[in-house]
């Protein structure tokens, strides 16, 4: 049996893990990093870039690059990249494909199956879209696991503690998920979930960016899209630096904005006050739903990059009145848990066969006549929020008119009283024999399994007729032919070898720094990049050296861009930044000079 991989398909970053030698192991990507940005970019010749390289293109090619598409999984939102349109699930498929390839390279064997984690709050459409994404990427996805279950599994696997109640606080780039998870006797059970799927680290970036712009007496609405991207990036950088230091200087230096501002952790508390307020709500909700008090929580598990912010940690300590909050790497928890889950699915001897029970994160039901307002149907709930899964529930309905010929059930998911305020999942109709109203009975059974697939069965005892409906999103459900066609299409997508990818990254990195800089530095970056491109085309045997040389230069630029608001030409002219490492670098330096000078003479076409 081939290996099963576990994937944390995040809004901002994705990770892949595998169960190996008795433990969950994260798999590095081509850059040797565990986090692969969930960003997809397409270039002129149709090549697709995923991850770090694509992320660099967010600024230089905003119209060809997509990010944060996880927020729209299961919707029909389309992303136009170049001359092609993509659904969120297709973009996710490209990320999954990349992770699959990284895993295959790492394991040295093909991978056919994956377990993918999704937020507990994902509705059916989003779950199905995630499965579709797996299929498009060439992965069998039999198991979708809720992110908090994965985090709890990782925690449980590391601590080997029995019988605890964990609060999993997952604060990522775009979403907040709060869950209460109970572990006892090899069973992991989610007691309650809540969250805010429009609250994440990016909201901090936005508010910091707006604060910065206000301090310059500018209006964010007047900025070019590229500038906004630069601003967002600088704000995020500032936020991350505040994780290390209590005060930092935020600097933005590009075509439209030139400025700096000192920002402290304390400022963040006031700038982002509305975000902190929203953060507390889902915690109160899960505690109330599960009817437990904060003091009954044995452990608080922090998950997601935004939990690294000291202000977030402090806020939680204050809110929950404790100072023993887990300090395991919040970036890795979910992927590590997906790896454990892969081990369980492979039935590895060395992993405790934990039984994962999940709960249904939302209520589901059908619409019924509202006797007081015929225009607005009411919800009749069949499965209630927070019911343990799998679950099967039946309810009985009857006709409301004389000689009714059919019964139609509209299936909804959501908590609202009026049906039309919830999400419609599908409909099912049965023919019935004409009888006076109230005389035909109909049993409706909802069965919701651990993978989040809803099966609806209606049964008319009078005629013994039965009808079944398995809910797949109308818009996104694909036929086998459509899946096959997609698979073919995606197989053709050019995969860049690791070295080519590194080159591409250097070029995109340079392009972003070019966009962020001005004056002499801008010109210097351009020259270096052109030289690098020239080397890529001509000089393959020295290419890796030149790449390193260019990387050192760009890292230097990155550093000074963060330090100064403007550059005097002097800084560039005296070349003081460059530290010679060895003879070979000197040789390359000389070659660059030679190339550079020939360029000034007008160059020649032979290059």
Contacting range for Mg ion; rule: CB under 5 A; set: 94-102, 166-174, 431-439, 472-480: 166-174
- Decide which of Mg ion, ligand ADP, none touches 148; Cβ closer than 5 to 8 Å per partner kind: none
Residue at token pair 């608080």:
300
* Cβ nearer to ligand ADP, comparing 146 with 367: 146
Phi/psi for 521 (5° steps) reads -65, -40
Q: Which is nearer to ligand ADP, 91 or 471 (CB)?
A: 91
Please state at what angle helix 225-244 crosses helix 52-60, rounded to 10 degrees.
130
User: With contacts defined by CB under 6 A, how many residues of the chain interact with ligand ADP?
Assistant: 20
Minimum distance from residue 71 beta carbon to Mg ion (Å): 12
Catalytic residue (one of 3, 70, 486, 522): 70
Distance between CA atoms of residues 34 and 18, nearest Å: 12
Q: Is 558 a catalytic residue?
A: no
Contact flag: residue 130 with ligand ADP (CB under 6 A): no
Partner that binds at residue 422, options ligand ADP, Mg ion, none, CB closer than 5 to 8 Å by kind: none
Taking alpha carbons only, the member of 361, 231, 240, 250 closest to residue 307 is: 240
Our finding on whether 92 is near ligand ADP (CB under 6 A) is: no
Minimum CB distance to ligand ADP smaller for 24 or for 67: 67
Q: Is 342 exposed, middle or buried (0-12, 13-18, 19+ CB in 10 A)?
A: buried
Please choose, from the candidates 484, 422, 361, 354, the residue with its C-alpha nearest in 3D space to the C-alpha of residue 19.
354
Q: Which is nearer to ligand ADP, 11 or 123 (CB)?
A: 11
Q: What would the x/- binding string for Mg ion be over residues 298 to 327, using CB under 5 A?
A: ------x-----------------------
> Would you say 132 and 318 are in contact if contact means Cβ atoms under 8 Å apart?
no
Contact call for residue 232 and ligand ADP (CB under 6 A):
no
Angle of the 147-159 helix axis to the 333-345 helix axis, nearest 10: 80
CA-wise closest residue to 185 among 357, 358, 326, 359: 357
* 309: contact with ligand ADP by CB under 6 A: yes
Residue with tokens 């290059």: 607
Residues 515-554 that bind ligand ADP (CB under 6 A): none
- Check if 222 is active-site: no
DSSP bridge pairs for 49: 41
Q: Which of 64, 90, 147, 501 is catalytic?
A: 147
Q: Single out the residue of 243, 348, 380, 530 in contact with ligand ADP (rule: CB under 6 A).
A: 243
Least distance from Mg ion to the Cβ atom of residue 374, Å: 45
- DSSP collapsed to 3 states, 35-86: CEECEEEECCCCCEEECHHHHHHHHHCHHHEEECHHHHCCCCCCEEECCEEE
Interaction between residue 209 and ligand ADP (CB under 6 A)? no
Q: Based on CB atoms, which residue is closest to ligand ADP, 145 or 529?
A: 145
| Contact of 193 with 219, CB cutoff 8 Å | no
Is position 308 an interface residue for ligand ADP (rule: CB under 6 A)? Answer: yes
Mention every residue, 6+ apart, whose C-beta is less than 8 A from residue 447. Answer: 390, 391, 392, 454, 455, 456, 457
Residues in the chain: 607
State yes or no: residue 51 binds ligand ADP (CB under 6 A): no
Neighbours of 424 (CB within 10 A): 14
Binding residues for ligand ADP restricted to 286-305, rule: CB under 6 A = 304-305
Tokens read off for 219: 């209006």
Nearer Cβ to ligand ADP, position 13 or 227? 13
10 binds Mg ion (CB under 5 A): yes
Which CB sits closer to ligand ADP, 56 or 189? 56
C-alpha angle 57-329-41 in degrees, rounded to nearest 5: 15
For residue 386, state whether it binds ligand ADP (rule: CB under 6 A).
no
Of residues 508-527, which lie at the interface with Mg ion (CB under 5 A)?
A: none
Q: Which is nearer to Mg ion, 136 or 307 (CB)?
A: 307
Our finding on whether 240 is near ligand ADP (CB under 6 A) is yes
Exactly one of 8, 189, 358, 524 is catalytic; which is it? 8
Catalytic residue list contains 229: no
Q: Which of 88, 172, 200, 330 binds Mg ion (CB under 5 A)?
A: 172
Q: Is 8 a catalytic residue?
A: yes
Kindly state the smallest distance separating residue 595's Cβ from Mg ion, in Å.
45
Q: Helices H, strands E: what count in the chain?
A: 16, 26
Cα distance between residue 163 and residue 158, in whole Å: 14
- Closest separation in Å from C-beta 13 to Mg ion: 7
Q: Which residues are annotated as catalytic?
A: 8, 70, 147, 170
Interface positions with ligand ADP (CB under 6 A):
10-13, 172-175, 200-202, 236, 239-240, 243, 304-306, 308-309
């Amino acid at each position: 049996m081939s290996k099963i991989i576990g994937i944390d398909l995040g809004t901002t970053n994705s990770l892949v893990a595998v169960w190996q030698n008795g433990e969950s192991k994260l798999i590095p990507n081509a850059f040797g990093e565990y986090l692969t940005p969930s960003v997809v970019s397409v270039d002129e010749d149709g090549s697709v870039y995923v991850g770090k390289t694509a992320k660099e293109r967010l600024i230089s090619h905003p119209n060809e690059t997509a990010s944060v598409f996880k927020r729209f999984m299961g919707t029909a939102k389309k992303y136009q990249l170049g001359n092609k349109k993509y659904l969120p699930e297709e973009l996710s498929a490209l990320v999954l494909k990349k992770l699959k390839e990284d895993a295959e390279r790492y394991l040295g064997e093909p991978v056919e199956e994956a377990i993918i984690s999704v937020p507990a709050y994902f509705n059916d459409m989003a779950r199905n879209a995630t499965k579709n994404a797996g299929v498009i990427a060439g992965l069998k996805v039999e198991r979708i696991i809720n992110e908090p279950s994965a985090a709890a599994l990782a925690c449980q696997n590391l601590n080997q503690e029995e019988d605890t109640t964990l609060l999993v606080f997952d604060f990522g780039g775009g979403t907040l998920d709060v869950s209460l998870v109970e572990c006892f006797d090899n069973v992991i059970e989610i007691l309650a979930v809540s969250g805010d799927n429009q609250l994440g680290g990016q909201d901090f970036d936005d508010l910091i960016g707006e604060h910065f712009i206000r301090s310059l007496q500018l209006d964010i609405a007047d900025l070019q899209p590229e500038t906004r991207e630069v601003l967002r990036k600088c704000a995020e950088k500032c936020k991350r630096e505040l994780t290390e230091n209590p005060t930092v200087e935020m600097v933005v230096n590009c075509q439209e904005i030139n400025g700096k501002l000192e920002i402290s952790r304390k400022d963040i508390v006031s700038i982002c006050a509305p975000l902190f307020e929203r953060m507390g709500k889902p915690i109160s909700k899960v505690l109330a739903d599960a009817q437990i008090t904060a003091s009954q929580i044995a452990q608080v598990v922090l998950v997601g990059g935004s939990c690294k912010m000291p202000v977030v940690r402090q806020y939680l300590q204050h809110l929950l009145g404790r100072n023993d909050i887990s300090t395991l790497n919040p970036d890795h928890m979910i992927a590590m848990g997906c790896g454990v889950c892969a081990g369980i699915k492979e039935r590895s001897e060395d992993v405790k066969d934990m039984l994962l029970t999940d709960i249904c994160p939302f209520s589901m039901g059908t619409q019924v006549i509202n006797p007081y307002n015929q225009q607005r149907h009411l919800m009749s709930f069949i499965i209630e929020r927070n019911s343990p899964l799998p679950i099967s529930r039946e309810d009985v309905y009857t006709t409301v008119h004389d000689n009714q010929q059919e019964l139609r059930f509209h299936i909804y998911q959501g908590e609202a009283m009026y049906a039309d305020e919830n999400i419609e999942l599908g409909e099912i109709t049965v023919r019935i024999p004409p009888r006076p109203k109230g005389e035909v009975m109909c049993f409706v059974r909802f069965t919701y399994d651990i993978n989040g697939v809803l099966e609806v069965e209606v049964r008319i005892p009078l005629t013994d007729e039965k009808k079944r409906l398995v809910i797949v999103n109308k818009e996104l459900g694909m036929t086998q032919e459509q899946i096959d066609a997609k698979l073919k299409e995606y197989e053709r997508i050019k995969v860049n070898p690791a070295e080519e990818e590194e080159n591409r990254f250097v070029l995109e990195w340079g392009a972003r720094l070019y966009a962020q800089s001005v004056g002499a530095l801008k010109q210097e970056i351009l020259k270096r990049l052109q030289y690098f491109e020239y080397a890529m085309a001509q000089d393959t045997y020295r290419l890796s050296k030149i790449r390193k040389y260019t990387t050192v230069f760009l890292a230097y630029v990155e550093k000074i861009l963060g330090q100064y608001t403007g550059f005097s030409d002097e800084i560039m002219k005296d070349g003081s930044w460059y530290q010679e490492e060895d003879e070979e670098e000197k040789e390359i330096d000389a070659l660059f000079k030679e190339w550079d000078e020939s360029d000034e003479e007008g160059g020649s076409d032979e290059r």
